[in-house]
């Protein structure tokens, strides 16, 4: 990420816009400000053809609460784009990112707050959530004639001097996608915090690492939920994103394994920093509270740095924490959140299995 201000990159782009190399590489460009309290979507007037590359450079932050100044998010958390009408939404994986238009149309930008209804960018949550937001994001857009990588390399070779341009070229050279068989949950967006790895004994695992970031990856399953169904896994936490109870809307940073059921609800089993095992609570984030429930299975730092095995009676946990259990499990989730207290996290998960005495499904 660049340490320069967005006005600085805007100045660099403006200085280059009359040069031959700029015209050879850049089809269109724009600088704009997005106010935090403006719901999506806002048109840019930039017309894209299907398959055309574009890059986004952003800075600034959106303040969530006047009473709690530490509650805020930057472009990585809030900024999304789509090609309208009908294009799929995309989000920034860092403060710079590049995309390929999935269809022809107008590039639109939006500040995200709440819950998406679908991957086309319709909001499921109340627009009233935007009224309390303050701050803004400064955004620069470059629409390329060729690939983003070629365009960035050409501008840098021509003397463009801004760390964000170099950072995005490096970012494109080392893409980090979700581990094989897993995908990012649309509502939480793409991230770059999950990596395929190996545990101490060589078994495959997923490593979660980052700072002031969040993400949810999911794997599709189809498994009956009966009184005998168990979800087992092993995990190791080396750094926890919270040092205080995670059941408030100001401290909701955690690591968890979750199961999603056919009714759209999910139960997440968390390793808490300090809440007692057995404690369960609805997600304290309003947009998620009706959908997600948290169940503490382990607490404290006494076993940090060690692989710890878990095995949960899913049916009984659901009955205790949510209510009458549905009939089937449809997805397994891996979740990490560190955007409320802006901390760091380092953890690994392995050997995720669903079993009921009659059948066994190896998820990871």
The domains of the chain are located at: 6-173, 183-362
User: For the residues 261-279, what does the mean pLDDT come to?
Assistant: 97
Does domain 6-173 fall into CATH 1.10.4190.10? no
Residue 175 confidence (pLDDT)? 81
H runs (alpha helix) in the chain: 6-16, 20-25, 75-78, 148-157, 163-173, 314-321
| Three-state DSSP class for residue 61 | strand
Q: Give 16-55 pLDDT, tens digit per residue.
A: 888 899 899 999 999 999 999 999 999 999 999 999 999 9
The mean per-residue pLDDT over the stretch 229-258 comes to 97
Give Cα separations from 15 to 2, 10, 19, 56 (angstroms): 19, 9, 8, 18
**Geometric angle at alpha carbon 38, from 33 and 40, rounded to 5°:** 95
**pLDDT at 5 (0 to 100):** 41
Mean local confidence (pLDDT), 75-100: 95
**Would you state the CATH architecture of domain 183-362?**
Sandwich (2.60)
pLDDT tens string 180-199: 999 999 999 999 999 999 98
Is pTM, for the whole model, over 0.75? yes
Q: Does position 107 have pLDDT exceeding 80, yes or no? A: yes
> Residue 18's pLDDT is what?
82
Whether 211 and 343 have beta carbons less than 8 Å apart is answered as yes
The alpha helices in 102-208, defined as continuous H runs, are: 148-157, 163-173
Give the pLDDT confidence score for residue 202 in this predicted structure. Answer: 86
Per CATH, 6-173 and 183-362 having the same topology is answered: yes
* Max CA pair span of the chain: 70
Distance CA 155, CA 166 (A): 10
Asked if 263 contacts 276 with a C-beta cutoff of 8 angstroms, the reply is: no
Quick one: pLDDT band at residue 6, thresholds 50, 70, 90? very low
Q: What is the mean pLDDT of the chain?
A: 93
CA 89 remoteness from chain centre: 13
**How many Cα atoms within 13 Å fall on the side-chain side of residue 110?**
24
Backbone angles phi, psi at 210, to 5 degrees: 165, -170
CB 89 within 8 A of CB 19: no
pLDDT of residue 130 exceeding 70: yes
Question: How far is Cα 306 from Cα 67, in angstroms, rounded to an integer?
Answer: 38
Confidence bin at 13 (pLDDT 50/70/90): confident
Res. 2: pLDDT tops 70: no
Provide the pLDDT confidence category of residue 281 given band limits of 50, 70 and 90: very high
Dihedral angle, C-alpha 17, 19, 25, 27, nearest 10 ° = 40
């Amino acid at each position: 990420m660049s340490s320069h201000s967005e006005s600085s990159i805007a100045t660099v782009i403006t200085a280059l816009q009359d040069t031959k190399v700029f015209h050879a590489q850049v089809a269109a460009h724009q600088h704009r400000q997005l106010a935090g309290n403006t719901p999506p979507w806002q048109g840019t007037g930039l017309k894209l053809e299907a398959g055309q590359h574009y890059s986004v450079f952003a800075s600034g932050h959106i303040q969530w609460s006047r009473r709690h100044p530490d509650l805020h998010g930057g472009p990585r958390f809030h900024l999304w784009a789509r090609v309208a009408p009908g294009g799929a939404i995309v989000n920034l994986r860092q403060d710079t990112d590049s995309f390929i238009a999935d269809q022809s149309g107008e590039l639109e930008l939006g500040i995200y707050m709440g819950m998406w209804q679908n991957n086309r960018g319709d909001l499921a949550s109340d627009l009233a959530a935007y009224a309390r937001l303050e701050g803004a994001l400064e955004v620069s857009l470059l629409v390329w004639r060729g690939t983003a990588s070629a365009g960035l390399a050409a501008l840098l070779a021509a003397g463009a001097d801004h760390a964000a341009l170099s950072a995005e070229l490096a970012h494109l050279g080392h893409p980090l996608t979700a581990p094989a068989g897993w995908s990012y949950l649309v509502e939480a967006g793409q991230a770059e915090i999950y990596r395929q790895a190996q545990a101490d004994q060589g078994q495959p695992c997923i490593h979660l690492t980052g700072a002031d970031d969040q993400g949810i990856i999911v794997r599709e399953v189809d498994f009956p939920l009966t009184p005998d169904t168990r979800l087992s896994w092993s995990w190791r936490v080396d750094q926890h994103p919270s040092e205080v109870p995670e059941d408030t809307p100001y401290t909701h940073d955690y690591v968890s394994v979750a199961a999603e059921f056919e009714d759209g609800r999910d139960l997440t089993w968390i390793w808490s920093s300090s809440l007692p095992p057995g404690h369960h609570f609805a997600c304290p984030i309003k947009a998620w509270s009706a959908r997600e429930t948290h169940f503490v299975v382990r607490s404290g730092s006494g076993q940090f740095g060690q692989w710890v095995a878990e095995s949960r009676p899913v049916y009984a946990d659901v009955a205790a924490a949510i209510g009458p259990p549905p009939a089937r499990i449809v997805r397994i989730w891996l979740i990490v959140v560190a955007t409320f207290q802006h901390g760091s996290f380092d953890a690994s998960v392995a050997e995720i299995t669903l079993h009921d005495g009659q059948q066994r499904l190896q998820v990871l």
